[in-house]
Amino acid sequence: MANALISVPPKAKRGEIIEVKTLVRHAMETGFRRTQLGERVPRDIITRFVCTYNGVEILRAVLHPAIAANPLLAFTTVATESGTLEFKWTGDNGYSLIETAAITVV
Amino acid sequence: MSTSRRNFLIAVGGIGLATTVGSARATPEAMREAIRRVARTAAIRVGKVKLDIAPLVENGNSVALSVTVESPMTTADHVKAIHVFTEKNPLPEVISVFLGPRAGRAGISTRVRLADTQAVIAVAELSDGSFWSASADVIVTLAACLEELT
């Protein structure tokens, strides 16, 4: 599996509401777990997610440790024009991942 | 005063118990405070929001959750943000999603961790400044967050 799985319909009618699904590989270590020796495992999570459509922000999210490992986020957007959707995840320890998906609007 | 073995054990046991009870765990009050931080002084009404989550969950490590809000999602009338909170997770906040008319529909789905049998609350902020909420009670048989690393 790649680091992120993205599902965007490759083609859509203008004005149609399309569903976007994103799944990114990340352990989302909560910072509340302890090892058998009692040491706390430091927090390492994705804290921010932004989705832009041809440079315009569609959706932004703030994630907390209560989001399960390999965070999934599904949402909708209006297919306005052909172009690219860009997805950006950022998080603890300098984590950053950018993925794009192309869409053709007819 | 001599400390008998029994008294000593009671005292030590008490310390142990006190530290376990005092471990990281949010309370319904902490959740209300977290919701207040988001809504500030605005009144939160019940309605418009639909929170979909299984009522009985076997494994709290990954629980499907979706929130939808009744809204035309136009520039004049749309949902600005959707926040999810829990009552008894170590932290009350789960996710905050900020959206706008370009989303088309006000709905998100994700997967969350639940540390205990508890109430989950979704709060939506509308463009007119009003807040709406929905809550769901979830029974969790295997809790998240508490397992040891092996």
The two tokens of residue B149 are 């690393």
Judged by a CB distance cut-off of 8 A, whether residue B108 touches chain A is yes
Tell me the average pLDDT of chain A. 94
Both structure tokens of A10: 């490759």
Q: What is the pLDDT of residue A1?
A: 52
Q: Distance between CA B125 and CA B123 in Å, rounded?
A: 7
Q: Which two tokens stand for residue A18?
A: 């399309």
- For A23-41, the pLDDT digits (tens) are 999 999 999 888 888 899 9
Tokens of A44: 């390492």
> HSE-up of A24 (CA within 13 Å, CB side)?
24
Q: Is the pLDDT of residue A105 over 50?
A: yes
Nearest to B103 among A33, A58, A67 (CB): A58
Interface of A with B in 57-86 (CB under 8 A): 57-69, 71-78, 80
pLDDT at B19 over 60: no
What is the least distance, in Å, from the CA of B68 to any CA of chain A? Answer: 10
* Local confidence band at B103 (pLDDT 50, 70, 90 cut-offs): very high
Decide if A78 and B102 are in contact by the 8 Å CB cutoff: yes
β-bridge mates for residue A65, sequence order: none
Q: For residue B123, give every residue at least 6 positions away whose Cβ sits within 8 Å of its Cβ, in sequence order, or none.
A: B35, B38, B39, B44, B49, B82, B83, B84, B85, B131, B132, B133
Q: What is the CA radius of gyration of chain A?
A: 16
Q: pLDDT exceeding 90 applies to what percent of chain B?
A: 69
* Under 8 Å between Cβ of A61 and B94: no
Q: Give the model's pLDDT for residue B147.
A: 58
Distance from the Cα of B8 to chain A's closest Cα (Å) equals 24
Question: Measuring CA to CA, how many Å separate A62 from each of A39, A41, A67, B108, B139?
Answer: 27, 22, 10, 13, 26
Tell me what the mean pLDDT of segment B18-38 comes to.
74
ipTM of the complex: 0.91
| Helix and strand element counts for chain B (H, E) | 2, 9
Token output for B49: 């929001």
Candidate from B24, B89, B150 with C-beta closest to A66: B89
**Max CA-CA distance within chain B?**
76
Provide the pLDDT for residue A36. Answer: 86
